[in-house]
Amino acid sequence: MSRAEEIRAACDVAALHGLWDKAREVRESPDRPATFRLELPDDAARAAVGDVYGRPMWGQGTRISVSKLDDAVRARFGVGLDEVLAIVHGRPVAAGTSAAPERGADPLRSALAERGLAGAPWAGAWVRWVHQYGRVAEAELPEVARAAAEILSALALDGPPADWVPRAELAARAGDAHLLDAGTTLSRLVLKAAALAHDVEAPANERARAALWERCGVAGDAVSATALCWALPLVGDDPWSRGVAGRTALGLPVHLSLLDLRAAPERLVTTGTPVAVCENPRVLEAAVAEGVRHPLIAATSHPSAAVHALLRRLTADGAVLHCHADFDWSGVALADSLTTAHGARPWRMSSEDYRDALDRAAAARTDLPPLVGTPAATPWDPDLTTVMATNARALPEETHLSALLADLRGDG
């Protein structure tokens, strides 16, 4: 069997027709977008597309990165996406012709090149988008391109951020603290590049914009987002450390902002210090009320930039993080992100822990909410996803508070 026949046999199946049709559509479109939305109507489509793309597929649809799809088919078949489409459809891919003039291509590409970004996977699609939809006057384009490239070079576009910077401070580097305010030309262009880089939809509201900024390492400001902490065993004897320790002595937790963390001493804790991270402030409140002096941080369902910054500081000091969250899909996604980004160790987050908590809830006749949403992977215990989906019940942290507090006290 020839290579083409092998590819046709593997790819020309009903479950993959939607993938190949959408891929051809974007490859032949004038602007050649970097991603496309793909509907996944049934289990057969989800399984087939996941096999080709290289990751599990959940729900009724997903967003496909053209470059990642090209990499996946090259790794599997030894030819690129265009060659696969030509074999499946029996005709070559026609190159799209942009209707937009290339009059402004040089300033954008030059500015990106100066910052080492010209070869980024998102760069070409972003340049085309700016020309077609960016609404930037030709005379203004060189200055806008320079400012955008300067900002983009400071963002985390290919991985989690190592640090967070307030948006006004970042904008000031490009000449004006208000350049990245909501609705400005520069913020719109930078967020489009960030969306392309992270393979997500361009944000359509302020909440989505704030989430994308934070994903790139940019906080709305340095004071409003905080990390709720309890009993941090700080090693310093400076005024900052004494202030935090003083609140613990009074039986009070502390909210640390990015500004607080910037004023903190270089080292916070000793190597090997165990620090627990929970999802819900109710767990931290209970620990405070019972006088449990184990270090604890409440991350919430969507950890703020201050939480991430504090966790990075603690892990850099050699602290050992243990994370727990609700047994629902957002909770296990939070646990996964904390293990991936900060090396946290799952704490009472196994499939057996879930079963035990279900049994305790049943014995106490506790009503549990239904488990809704898209299943999330649990790589530390792959069985957990299956067990949760099978039982279809969510378990808030509060339902097994006594077991968590016992761990924090060191009982047993």
Query: Which domains does the chain possess?
Result: 3-89 (no CATH), 105-219 (no CATH), 226-409 (3.40.1360)
Q: Which residues of 116-142 are buried (b: 16+ CB within 10 A; e: fewer)?
A: ebbebbbbbbbbbbbbeebebeeeebe
* Residue 81, burial from CB neighbour count under 10 angstroms (0-12, 13-18, 19+): buried
Cα distance between residue 347 and residue 322, in whole Å: 6
Eight-class DSSP state of 294: S
pLDDT tens digit at each of 412 positions of the chain: 687 888 989 999 999 999 999 998 888 887 677 788 888 888 899 999 999 998 888 877 888 888 889 888 888 888 889 999 999 998 888 865 444 444 434 699 999 999 999 889 999 899 989 988 888 988 899 999 999 999 999 999 988 887 889 999 999 988 899 999 998 999 999 999 999 999 998 898 998 999 999 999 999 999 998 999 999 999 999 999 999 999 999 999 999 999 999 999 999 999 999 999 999 999 999 999 999 999 999 999 989 999 999 999 999 999 999 999 999 999 999 999 999 999 999 999 999 999 999 999 899 898 999 999 999 999 999 999 999 999 999 999 998 899 999 999 987 5
Say if CB 219 and CB 213 are below 8 A apart: yes
Q: What pLDDT does residue 2 have?
A: 80
Q: How far apart are CA 134 and CA 335, in angstroms?
A: 38
Give the separation between CA 70 and CA 85, rounded to whole angstroms: 11
Provide the pLDDT for residue 102: 43
Phi, psi of 255 (to 5 degrees): -100, 115
pLDDT at residue 96, rounded to an integer: 57
**What does residue 10 show for φ and ψ, rounded to 5 degrees?**
-80, -30
Sign of torsion, CA 373 374 376 381?
A: positive
CB atoms within 10 A of CB 78: 11
Kindly calculate the radius of gyration of the chain based on its CA atoms and give it in whole angstroms: 25
**Element of type H or E holding 343:** none
Number of helices (H) and strands (E) in the chain: give both, helices first. 19, 10
The model carries a pTM of 0.69
Q: Is 38 helix (H, G, I), strand (E, B) or coil?
A: strand
- Position 104 scores a pLDDT of 39
